[in-house]
Structure 1
Amino acid sequence: MARKDHYYNKAKQQGYRARSAFKLQQLDEEVGLFGPGNTVVDLGAAPGGWLQVASERVKDNGKVVGVDLQRIRSLDKHNVETIRGDMTEEETKAKLKDIIGEQGADAVVSDMAPNMTGEYSLDHARSIYLAQQAFEVAQELLATGGDFAVKVFDGRDLADFRAEMEGSFQYVRSIRPDASRDSSSEQYLVGKRYLTAPVRSGDELEVEIIDVGSEGDGIAKVEDFTVFVSGTEAGETVRVKITDVKPKFAFAERLDE
């Protein structure tokens, strides 16, 4: 039996609206996108297969919100809400923010794909364009430390888009789920632990050491964001290079020794 038939039949048997539900299951198993109680946004959610999987993974105390230009047939799940609209429009984004609340989303996912023309370079370019739109929306919705997963097609623009994502997450992985068809060039870029820090690895700046932490590192603040600097003492003003950025703090080395 061909693999596409296997997942199509499996979706029908298990009550999923699309075979792509298994791609999201496999992504979650690979990188841990969801947890009980999480808030998840699914961009381009019709017909609802990913909403079903996310609903199961976040459990009864979680929340899943799907948005699509197409109508999403109602799901019999109390932790799922849907919005019909364009994800890039301010009205739609305002509705999403109202539902997910000020704390933001723990994960934003997108399985959107362009209408296929059969011209590979055009289909690739359109897939990257959709992925960039999803990424821009995700940056407005994600909480610090949240995750983002988006479908893309292989091609010349993929490396640049991945580099763009890498500037906003602790790390980015490329994953091809087993449920993807053999003939497809699709893959998923997964950004883990969204960074809202005002600094990035490699930045050089001057900081004032205001305190010393329990491990002996100096503590500086950049727009209320904590930066640990080894080999410094309270009261010093030093030039540093950021070496590692976490969602809630960063590490730096001094440059003026």
Structure 2
Amino acid sequence: MTNDSKRPLKVQVKKRKGRTLAQKLWLDRQLNDPYVARAKREGYRSRATYKLIELDDRFHLLKPGSRVVDLGAAPGGWSQVAAKRVGAEAGKGRVVAIDILDMPPIPGVDVLHLDFLDPAAPDKLKALLGGPADVVFSDMAANATGHRQTDHLKIMALAEAAAMFAREVLDPGGSFLCKVLRGGTEGDLLADLKRDFAKVKHVKPAASRADSAELYVLAMGFRQAAEG
């Protein structure tokens, strides 16, 4: 006898009137995704949580006592991880989550209901953090159009804006982590960041779906530009 009976059964989504094929495929993938199941089991708000956990285990971005900014934070999975790892729940670090969307409270996290592109956002953030940030990260993605090149350009525009924001709020030596998509222009952002950070690279955590064009750009060792 084999152990096949111990394997979790694949969930099949039934066809339903009004449900498109794309919606059915998305539901199929969600219901059979081990990271989705694990997030529910462990109390995290999204499967994306495990991308940050893996990257932090590799690169040690979230140190006890650090000040962290989570751009486009909703639903809050990355903020949950950051709060635990820097000790924010015990008052040892600070985590600020910024989003235009409403988000339920997270222990140890200050939520700013704000567009990070607002010119006043950097000053508001530093006031809440009590100083510059040690880490800025963004798992933001623009609403998909279904047109690959358009979606690539939209997410890269967000990534470039997030990088500009990071430069305004990071402490020297700080780190920036941001989602991008493969598509031809992500190398431009990498080259741009190399002027201001000591180490810059593309990384793809195992929790990113293998068939996804998703990558992350990681920049460490921020070199603050001298004021001229």
Report the TM range for the smaller structure's normalisation: 0.7 to 0.9
Q: Partner of 1:100 in structure 2?
A: 129
Aligned length: 197
Deviation at 1:62, TM superposition (A): 0.9
Structure 1 distance, partners of 2:97, 2:209, is 24
- Residues 159-185 of structure 1: per-residue CA shift (max 9 Å, x gap): 111100111100102110000012210
Q: Partner of 1:118 in structure 2?
A: 146
Q: Partner of 2:223 in structure 1?
A: 195
- The answer to whether 1:184 aligns with 2:212 is yes
Q: Partner of 1:80 in structure 2?
A: 109
Deviation at 1:119, TM superposition (A): 0.8
| Aligned residues: CA RMSD | 1.7
**For 1:13, what is the secondary structure of its paired residue?**
helix
- Residues 86-111 of structure 1: per-residue CA shift (max 9 Å, x gap): 10102333221111123x10100000
2:102 aligned partner, one-letter code: R
Runs of 4 or more above 4 Å deviation: 1-4
Q: Partner of 1:26 in structure 2?
A: 54
Mean Cα deviation higher: 49-58 or 189-198: 189-198
Correspondences of 1:201-212 after superposition (within 5 Å): none
- The answer to whether 1:152 aligns with 2:180 is yes
Q: Partner of 1:227 in structure 2?
A: none
Q: Partner of 2:67 in structure 1?
A: 39
**For 2:219, what is the secondary structure of its paired residue?**
strand
Structure with the larger helix share: 2
TM normalised by structure 1 equals 0.73
Structure 2 distance, partners of 1:23, 1:95, is 28
Deviation at 1:197, TM superposition (A): 4.7
2:53 aligned partner, one-letter code: Q
1:66 aligned partner, one-letter code: A
Q: Which of 93, 109, 118 matches 1:89?
A: 118
Structure 2 distance, partners of 1:42, 1:9, is 24
Structure 2 distance, partners of 1:93, 1:73, is 23
Structure 1 distance, partners of 2:175, 2:65, is 15
**For 1:112, what is the secondary structure of its paired residue?**
coil
2:114 aligned partner, one-letter code: G
Structure 1 distance, partners of 2:113, 2:211, is 31
Q: Partner of 1:239 in structure 2?
A: none
TM normalised by structure 2 equals 0.83
**For 2:176, what is the secondary structure of its paired residue?**
strand
**For the Cα contact (< 8 Å) 2:190–2:201, is it kept in 1?**
no
- The answer to whether 1:52 aligns with 2:80 is yes
Structure 1 distance, partners of 2:170, 2:157, is 20
Q: Partner of 2:191 in structure 1?
A: 163
Larger Rg: 1
- Residues 199-253 of structure 1: per-residue CA shift (max 9 Å, x gap): xxxxxxxxxxxxxxxxxxxxxxx98xxxxxxxxxxxxxxxxxxxxxxxxxxxxxx
- The answer to whether 1:134 aligns with 2:162 is yes
Q: Which of 83, 101, 115 matches 1:70?
A: 101
Q: Partner of 1:143 in structure 2?
A: 171
Structure 2 distance, partners of 1:177, 1:123, is 21
Correspondences of 1:175-254 after superposition (within 5 Å): 175-198=203-226
Identity rate, percent = 39
Structure with the larger strand share: 1
Q: Which has the higher contact order (CA 8 A, sep 6+)?
A: 2
